[in-house]
Amino acid sequence: MTRWNVREIAFYGAGARRRTIEFDIDKVNVITGASGTGKSAIIDAIDYCLGSKDCRLPFFVRGHTVAVAVHWVQGDSDLIVGRKIPESGSGTNQMFVRTGKHLRLPNTSEGLEGPTNRDTARATIEKSFGIQDTDDPAVAAKSEKGRASIRDVTPYLFLSGGIIINRETLLHDLHRPEKARDIKATMPYFLGAVNQASVLAARRLRQLEAALGRIEREAKAQERSQGLLTQRSIALLTQAEGIGLIAELPSADASDQILLNQLRSVAENGVSTPASRDSETRAALEDERRQLVSELQTLREKRQMLKRTIREAAGYGTAVSGQSHKLKLVEHLKLGDGRCPVCDAENAAGLAMAEQIRNSLTIVADEVLAVDVMRPRLDDHFGQVENQIGSRSGRLREVEAQLSGLLRVEEESAGAGSLLQERARVVGRIDQFLETTARDYETSSTNTASLESEIENLRDQVDPQARRERLRDAENMVSNFATDMLADLPTEVPATGARVVFSSAPSLSLIEPTQRAVLAMAEVGSDQNYLAMHLALSFSLQKLFETMRAPVPGLLVIDQISRPYYPKGGDEKRLKEMEKDDDQVAMQKIVRFLFEETARRAGLQVILIEHAYIEEDPEYVAAVKGRWTKASGVKLIPSDWPNRN
């Protein structure tokens, strides 16, 4: 056997339970029976053990099994791939991979060997199948367009139920956008037009060609702008020379670098003039004048307030002194001895009154003293404020005199100022030119000789023309194979006698024999025609893979060739249950095609999942590996297996 086939698939349940399905190598194998018995899960199990991200096994299978394993064989080489089954969600990251000779599936899931992560497992499978033929990490990156992985072989292995009579989708998973890109990108590799090394070379070639194109565009832009740079530089230097910023113009043959250096010198020196210094002095004097005016206003307000305070203090002192003199007159009445000053009789009321007058005299005396103490201080502070006002007023007169002098100087130098302003404008233009335009023109020169040499070498390796020719040759081979096979399959007009045209786009069309009209796949019509077209293409691709020794396993899993002839669902179907004799003949013809075409191919194994049990065909009966009917109660996962919980 020259190609990889599946020897066994094992499902592991709780309590050391194992359900194993064995298959014949290089032959057709049939699993037939009722709907809901788990037949289609065979595709899901193989796909899951080829490292798919998601686990698509049916709910019942996931609820009653804990792991699944696929035993691949090629000659005396064995490859066992196992994987834990999650109860829900996406697939587990842990896988089990073992390679060697004379390997056997373990009895329990605990016996699976070679635990590893999904990425490492996929890399091991790819190496076994011969997909990865370069060790370059850049090619190993899945994001690299055209780099094939184990996940890209599944469209050629499975003819699933949703595809086999589909009028629009050609291959398994091609209807999924996230998969379609990889299928299209890697098909040239599987058709033998490229190899993994040429994928890397093509990647590097695209990068270098883009870099060279960018350099060439920049060089052309620099060449176009060089004349403008010279013209603009000379124009600015001429303006600078005309207003005295430089002594003379550079020579006519001066390089652009010399011109730019002289412009930078003018920009760095700038324009320094008496006018600019006077302007700075005037600004400082104006600031000082505003400050002096503000201070004088504050001091004058303060002086006014002090004047008012001094006046009020003087009035208060006069009033208090008068009261003091009046109260002292009472002393002459001698009220303190307790007698009436008129009749000299003892008088208690006079004694109390004398005491009150003495207290009032004490208070008034204290107030007179306070006024006498504060008055000199107020007078002194008033004098200080008057001095500050005089000092600030004198400085203000000096500042205003200086400002008047500067104004006269500015009026006298108005003519000279226009020249200085022009110089400032020219320096500004030079600054802007150096900051923007000149900087854009200064691109570093790049030696493209080595780059061009590497591009030429890569073009020899990639050789796009040879790639196109190899791809066209592969497309023609598949088209011819499929045309011959379509003639052996039951079809209806317009597919009958038509020629198949296959493109690696990928697409499939027919050229009908009567008017030579080219029909897209969707235009052909009839489930029987779509079944025939899918079968012809799948077997044609397998024939090409065998011829060119492509790294694709010799496996084709087909889900129900009887779809155009039996209603969906139900129990196992017999040939005689078909209402039309033509359908019975067509079904037998398709079965013969499967067996005969598989026998012609070296290393091709077919696993046929079917409702139909064709007891009229002894070879079909002999190929049956399981009859899972309602009467027998046999299923992929036995009904008596306990729930994994």
pLDDT in tens, 524-555: 988 999 999 999 999 999 999 999 899 999 99
Domain around 305: 274-434
Assess whether 61 and 97 both reside in one domain.
yes
Cα 19 from Cα 376, distance rounded (Å):
121
Cα 495 from Cα 497, distance rounded (Å):
6
Cα 493 from Cα 519, distance rounded (Å):
12
Q: Which percentage of the chain shows pLDDT scores above 90?
A: 38
- Give me the pLDDT at residue 511, please: 93
Token pair recorded at residue 138: 């850049």
- Give me the pLDDT at residue 338, please: 57
Task: Summarize the confidence of residues 182-209 as an average pLDDT.
Answer: 77
Residue with the larger pLDDT of the pair 276 and 603: 603
* 214-243 residue pLDDT tens: 777 766 665 554 567 777 777 787 777 777
Task: Summarize the confidence of residues 421-443 as an average pLDDT.
Answer: 72
Assess whether 424 and 470 both reside in one domain.
no
Token pair recorded at residue 628: 């899972």
* 1-12 residue pLDDT tens: 589 999 999 999
- Give me the pLDDT at residue 231, please: 74
Q: Is residue 36 scored above 50 in pLDDT?
A: yes
What is the number of structural domains in the chain?
2
Whether the Cβ atoms of residue 453 and residue 193 lie closer than 8 Å to each other:
no
Please tell me whether residue 605 adopts helix, strand or coil conformation: strand
Assess whether 426 and 502 both reside in one domain.
no
Would you say residue 244 lies in a domain? no
pLDDT mean across residues, the chain? 81
Assess whether 23 and 155 both reside in one domain.
yes
CATH assignment at residue 189: 3.40.50.300
**pTM to 2 decimal places:** 0.62
Q: Is residue 143 scored above 50 in pLDDT?
A: no
Q: Taking Cα atoms as reference points, which of 65, 163, 102 lies closest to residue 508? A: 163
Assess whether 428 and 518 both reside in one domain.
no
Assess whether 306 and 392 both reside in one domain.
yes
Would you say residue 590 lies in a domain? yes
Would you say residue 639 lies in a domain? no
Rounded to 10°, the helix 256-269/196-242 angle is 60
Would you say residue 41 lies in a domain? yes
Would you say residue 160 lies in a domain? yes
Would you say residue 223 lies in a domain? no
Would you say residue 214 lies in a domain? no
| Span of 255-264, 437-446, 608-617 with lowest mean pLDDT | 437-446
Q: Is residue 205 scored above 80 in pLDDT?
A: no
CATH assignment at residue 403: 1.10.287
* 372-419 residue pLDDT tens: 667 777 777 788 888 888 888 887 877 777 777 667 656 655 555 566
How many residues in the chain? Answer: 645
- Give me the pLDDT at residue 487, please: 94
Cα 156 from Cα 150, distance rounded (Å):
11
Cα 562 from Cα 583, distance rounded (Å):
9
Assess whether 183 and 300 both reside in one domain.
no
Q: Taking the CA atoms of the chain, what radius of gyration do you get in angstroms?
A: 54
Assess whether 418 and 564 both reside in one domain.
no
Assess whether 474 and 601 both reside in one domain.
yes
Q: How confident is the model at residue 571 (pLDDT cuts 50, 70, 90)?
A: confident
- Give me the pLDDT at residue 473, please: 93
* 284-329 residue pLDDT tens: 878 888 888 888 888 888 888 878 887 777 766 666 566 666 555 5
Q: How confident is the model at residue 134 (pLDDT cuts 50, 70, 90)?
A: very low
Whether the Cβ atoms of residue 363 and residue 320 lie closer than 8 Å to each other:
no
Cα 254 from Cα 50, distance rounded (Å):
71
Would you say residue 258 lies in a domain? no
388 Cβ contact partners less than 8 Å away, ≥ 6 residues apart: 299
Assess whether 58 and 184 both reside in one domain.
yes
- Considering 178-182, 279-283, 399-403, 549-553, the range whose residues carry the highest mean pLDDT is 549-553
23 Cβ contact partners less than 8 Å away, ≥ 6 residues apart: 5, 6, 7, 8, 9, 29, 605, 607, 625
Task: Summarize the confidence of residues 352-366 as an average pLDDT.
Answer: 66
- Give me the pLDDT at residue 158, please: 95
- Considering 123-127, 379-383, 449-453, the range whose residues carry the highest mean pLDDT is 123-127
Q: How confident is the model at residue 371 (pLDDT cuts 50, 70, 90)?
A: low
- Give me the pLDDT at residue 495, please: 93
Assess whether 189 and 328 both reside in one domain.
no
Residue with the larger pLDDT of the pair 338 and 167: 167
- Give the long-range contacts of residues 314-318, CB within 8 A, separation 24 or more: 314/375, 316/371, 317/368, 317/371, 317/372, 317/375
Q: Is residue 48 scored above 70 in pLDDT?
A: yes
Assess whether 539 and 585 both reside in one domain.
yes
